[in-house]
Amino acid sequence: MIGHDQDMDPVNGDASLATRRGASERLAVAGEVSSEAQLREAMDPANRSLNEALHLSFRVLQIAIVALLVLFLFSGFRTVDNAQSGVATVWGRIVDPAGLEPGLATNWPPPIGGFVLFQAEGRSVTDGNAFVSQMLLSHGEARSVQKAVTTDRLRPEQDGSMLTVGGEIGHIRAQASYRVSSPARFLETVVDRDADLLVQLALQRSIVQIGASHTLQSLRETLTTDGLRSMIRDEAQSLLDQSGSGLRVTSVELKQEPLPPAAVQKNFENYSQAQQQVSANVEQARKAAQETLITVAGAMHEELAALIDEYESAYEKGDAAEASAVLIRFDAAISRPDVAGSVAKMMDTARRHKISIEQTLGRDARLFSGLQNAYRQQPNVVIARRWLEAAGRVFGKPDIEVFQLPPGLGRLKVDLTGSQAVRDLRRSLRLDRVDAEAWNAGFSGSAADQFQRIEEIKMERAGRQLAVDEKGRISGQREKN
């Protein structure tokens, strides 16, 4: 009989083999093995155990392969932050030149596809203090001016400065913020680590060009801070566009506005203050002149001043015809109703004076001219007519009394007493004449200046506030202050 002893190890003679192999099969073949089928039947339990182990290992291998495949496929996904940008590539070529948007991006997994990401927003760079002195950096503007003396000189090996029109030296500090606007162009032309250097050089060059086309005074006083920043930004952007960098300058901040050297800054400030005072005085004088012109001629002062200039020019050239034509135009313009101010008052006074002359001296002049021609032809007739007219006007007055005396009285003195009614009439006429003279003496301005305004009238009762009594006296005039 061939077999394993139940209690003893046939090789080592170990009696504890049964304990260590507690669940193992015990193979016992009694008698002679007669056939291969019987041997195969005896090996089936071992084959089944081996088959199950291999099957389990295959399952584990399949799961591992699936997991690796999933990880491989998910390697084609990438999350792009809000401040980032980049491009997706396939076999090293850029798929979309517009770049990646913030969020989840997909692509072929490596090594077929890939991602190139970089910071696109919130990038900034200074001008490297290329245009400022070390004293200004160390002590500030006020302290550097106090420490500066007339013997101070700029040290080119340490201090920076810019040269403006006229050979003036100035200092300025600037900082630029930029972003990547075209990821594809940026990757093709610029290395990411060199982007700050490229923008810094563009910022420095733009400051140099702007300084070379402006005076230091215009940079400080004529241009506003926003205007200067815009000029620097536009110039720097132009340089970046020429290089095809795909970068966009978003803003420029002035860390230090344009300043002269510290040694001359105090005098420069005094000069600037004097210039500002001169400008203020000129503006005040211009404003006063404008107000004076409006007071004199109203809104038409420009047109009237232009006509006056034309007349003076024609008079200086000796062109009487042109001067006369300009005067006609000036008279037409000044007679328009929209002319106001002192000129209008003077013209109104002149018109009233002209009318007064026409009504008095003009009438007498016309009468004298008519009588002069008639007198030359028949002087006796004219004299007799005028004498009769004068006598008629004198004797036609209501206060004239006519007395008839007999002839031949000689030099006798006659004491006559007039009528009481005539004396009363003469007294009334004298009072009327005194009132008229007083009225004419007080009527120096326009009619609108003589009567009361509505706020000056005491409306104690209804009725007319301006009245004329039986003697021609007017009540309700404005009382003079």
- Give the CATH number for residue 139: 3.30.479.30
What pLDDT digit, counting tens, does each position of 260-286 carry?
A: 876 676 666 666 677 778 888 899 998
60 and 35 belong to one structural domain: yes
Bridge-based pairing of strands 2-3 and 474-475 is: unpaired
Q: Are 124 and 178 in contact (CB under 8 A)?
A: yes
346 and 286 belong to one structural domain: yes
Biggest alpha carbon–alpha carbon distance for the chain: 222
166 falls within a domain: yes
139 and 218 belong to one structural domain: yes
The pLDDT value given to residue 91: 80
Closest CA to 249 of 279, 205, 212: 205
310 and 247 belong to one structural domain: no
What token pair was written down for 45? 């339990």
133 and 236 belong to one structural domain: yes
Q: Are 9 and 20 in contact (CB under 8 A)?
A: no
105 and 131 belong to one structural domain: no
The pLDDT value given to residue 344: 77
The pLDDT value given to residue 31: 45
Bridge-based pairing of strands 474-475 and 247-259 is: unpaired
Q: Residue 82 carries which side chain, given as an amino acid letter?
A: N
189 and 245 belong to one structural domain: yes
161 and 237 belong to one structural domain: yes
Task: Work out the percent of the chain whose per-residue pLDDT is above 90.
Answer: 13
25-34, 173-182, 187-196: which is most confident: 173-182
6 and 83 belong to one structural domain: no
Q: Are 210 and 300 in contact (CB under 8 A)?
A: no
270 falls within a domain: no
269 falls within a domain: no
108 and 127 belong to one structural domain: no
Asked whether the predicted pLDDT for residue 67 surpasses 80, the reply is: no
Asked whether the predicted pLDDT for residue 50 surpasses 80, the reply is: no
Domain range enclosing 82? 77-119
Average pLDDT over residues 307-320: 88
368 falls within a domain: no
386 falls within a domain: no
Asked whether the predicted pLDDT for residue 480 surpasses 50, the reply is: no
140 falls within a domain: yes
157 and 224 belong to one structural domain: yes
Least confident of 104-108, 347-351, 377-381: 104-108
66-70, 153-157, 241-245: which is most confident: 241-245
What pLDDT digit, counting tens, does each position of 76-123 carry?
A: 667 778 888 888 787 877 787 777 888 777 776 777 777 778 888 889
The pLDDT value given to residue 237: 94
- Tell me the C-alpha distance between 358 and 366, whole Å: 10
245 falls within a domain: yes
111 and 128 belong to one structural domain: no
Q: Total domain count for the chain?
A: 4
241 falls within a domain: yes
